[in-house]
Structure 1
């Protein structure tokens, strides 16, 4: 009898152990669908099978198991799944250009393809302590001093965007490392109710077009606690013409992020055929960037009701490969330049060969500390295109820190002179209305080339208010403090 009882006890203990070891029924490990984590086998089919099975079952977790590298070509996410990349696991893009065939911009095939995609998604989370790796250098040409050569192509640029979601609802991206994109990294188009939190996004700083996070026609988005390094813009808001049916980009909050960029760390535009409004950017650090904060309106859409606050900006010059001339803050509205580049047909309204520009209005900068080789630039094609700009507690420290030539403001891509030569002033205004500077200061460092100039230089500005603005010109007695 005792032997029988012991056997039963053993049986129940063994069964309990098996239950503890069993995978939950709503967990779909990609290895159960044939994925091989050797870093060489293309696992796109296996990953897609796991995603499809999870979605078909009503939802759950698709898991990339820890400790292995899974190479994969393109695959699509589905609704009601959590795509979990476990700690020390990596999903890396297949370096073979031939597997990338789906355009990131529909019929405009000249601006990259899609690696991880998804359309009309609901309730999707991408998370884990692992890594999504775009394998970006594999798609580059020769390495130059501060960039890579872009390989020529005929119709389709095969460089893959790392993650592209079109028409998403309730999207969550958190706790991941995302790196080495060959083109844009996280591109969210027509998405609503998005939270991006605690991601580390590390692109090679020499890769052109390697934006960090692009919010395109998206609404109700929160980005927080992220660290981003990108050759191109780190966080960018826009309304691309290829997806015009999704409407405006609005209700965006960015908090507690640290960024580095060879272009512009936080940018609004340049593609904007609708409206961008109700945006809060707060508590951020921008280090070793070209531009710090930029509003670059070049299309008929408008930008309004934006607040930047509590930000530290550290910017300096890079070569002309990168847009920007170390402007720590940049607010502009110019019609887009005509061009015969690969995507010129998609830059203007349908059937037109030149564009127009919408207004930029009600932009507020508060408690911004800038160290740079250049000053703030604000300008429009006419005065009514840039209105209601307030600088409150904006302190500038301007010093020459690189060997690259300065004395230039970069207005590309515009139908005016792209690289405007002139004195570097703390604040340079060219065609605007209702600008206020208050409780702010301009200081000059010890390295002062002869093109360093005024505290404020203003041309064609209606209603400029200066209240408690501290600082002298770069060369007191030789250069006037204000040129109004």
Structure 2
């Protein structure tokens, strides 16, 4: 059965807040056993927060727009429970099942309305007293059998789709166009989620396009695992696909294949900063094009980035709120069994694999990873970005095809490096190894070697 929101009083004039009518339609539909909620075509429905419920299809028709109310005072529910400083909930739902969001229309987060002054490549963030009013577009907590498909989402003021503790999820055919100057405007965040498939999506984001997390606020939901990403194109001012940095459990059994990453600050990033572990990750058949942006954005054009460093415990926004309750310091879990195969990279920087202790990043394999490094922007390079961490934020001075720092059991097989026509002075060599254990290189192809040579490497013919 269909429930058209206009029959419940929605005006669709882009001025009146239609959230009450939308909620009435949802409540009625779910209460009568389920059906389709229709946001009809050809109109703009302004709305404050509302809640999805079980057994519904939320259908935003082709040509329809659901637009977030720009009035900050209507956003009062924190996206992270007692942590009230990282956005609020717009379209929410908790402990729901059998929910479909679809229809071919547009869900618009109205993000720029929540921003401060526009700067070169980022908007300023407005100050707030207690609750950060920037709305996450969709937040589903404890969901089961969730489908989001064939819809356009745009201009998130904070994260776009945030799924927490959700099982059996399919996202297909999404077009996500977030403003590349809005910080924290992630595309999709999977937080303690299991059995997820993301396919055939296009995502543009001023932060991570797709991110795997285990946030401390939702620790009871367990690991993030058994996830596939395929056939997606991504553009990010930060990191196209990121693991972490928040991770208090396990992130494991993830495959990423047949994807294109372009015009991004960082390609694939594994960034462990908490006690959780990251393991059994396979990335294959990916084309990446990366470039530098300003220091506002984490990342220094590393196409592949694998790190494990402790969090800062003072003079940093992560001090306290990211650590276990009552703790003054945190642990860092292991990153292991990571494979990158058949990857083509064009970038202003090379691959970085680094850790504060050699046992924290181990068993990493690069096979058929081809890297082309060239200077294409005016931003300073020769830098590897380690933020957020307790030590120095960056390692500076040299760029290599592969930079290995305090890691173990790394295999580089059938890989290659070429330098582009705009070779900077700090573009040094094919591989730099500082303090690593059991690094093996086989059939590495590089057009020339200069400035420094391989160090501490076992070369296999």
Q: Same fold (TM over 0.5)?
A: yes
TM-score range for the pair, normalised by the shorter chain length: over 0.9
What is the alpha-carbon distance in structure 2 between the residues aligned to residue 279 and residue 210 of structure 1? 23
Structure 2 unaligned spans of 5+: 457-461
* Counterpart position of 2:428: 453
Shift of 1:479: 1.3
* Counterpart position of 2:177: 202
8 Å Cα contact 2:312-2:318 kept in structure 1: no
What is the alpha-carbon distance in structure 2 between the residues aligned to residue 121 and residue 462 of structure 1? 48
Shift of 1:340: 4.3
1:403 aligns with 2:393: no
SS of structure 1 residue aligned to 2:21? helix
1:55 aligns with 2:30: yes
Q: Which is higher, the Rg of structure 1 or of structure 2?
A: 1
What is the alpha-carbon distance in structure 1 between the residues aligned to residue 155 and residue 401 of structure 2? 36
What is the alpha-carbon distance in structure 1 between the residues aligned to residue 453 and residue 199 of structure 2? 40
Q: CA RMSD in A?
A: 0.9
1:296-352 Cα shifts (integer Å, max 9, x gaps): 000000000000000000001000000000000000011111234556332001110
* Counterpart position of 2:459: none
* Counterpart position of 1:464: 439
* Counterpart position of 1:288: 263
What is the alpha-carbon distance in structure 2 between the residues aligned to residue 207 and residue 358 of structure 1? 31
* Counterpart position of 1:392: 367
8 Å Cα contact 1:241-1:346 kept in structure 2: no
1:482 aligns with 2:457: no
What is the alpha-carbon distance in structure 2 between the residues aligned to residue 242 and residue 311 of structure 1? 33
* Counterpart position of 1:170: 145
Question: Normalized against structure 1, the TM-score is what?
Answer: 0.93
Match of 2:228 among 248, 253, 267: 253
Shift of 1:429: 0.2
Kindly report structure 1 stretches of 4+ aligned residues shifted beyond 3 Å: 339-344
1:410-444 Cα shifts (integer Å, max 9, x gaps): 00001121111121000000011110000110000
What is the alpha-carbon distance in structure 2 between the residues aligned to residue 386 and residue 416 of structure 1? 17
Structure 1 unaligned spans of 5+: 1-25
* Counterpart position of 2:252: 277
What is the alpha-carbon distance in structure 2 between the residues aligned to residue 208 and residue 66 of structure 1? 31
Shift of 1:483: 3.1
Spell out the pairing of 1:89-104 with structure 2 (5 A cutoff). Answer: 89-104=64-79
SS of structure 1 residue aligned to 2:130? coil
Spell out the pairing of 1:50-449 with structure 2 (5 A cutoff). Answer: 50-342=25-317, 344-449=319-424
SS of structure 2 residue aligned to 1:453? strand
8 Å Cα contact 1:242-1:346 kept in structure 2: no
8 Å Cα contact 2:313-2:320 kept in structure 1: no
The structure that is helix-richer by fraction is: 1
Shift of 1:267: 0.4
Question: Normalized against structure 2, the TM-score is what?
Answer: 0.98
8 Å Cα contact 1:289-1:315 kept in structure 2: yes
The structure that is strand-richer by fraction is: 2
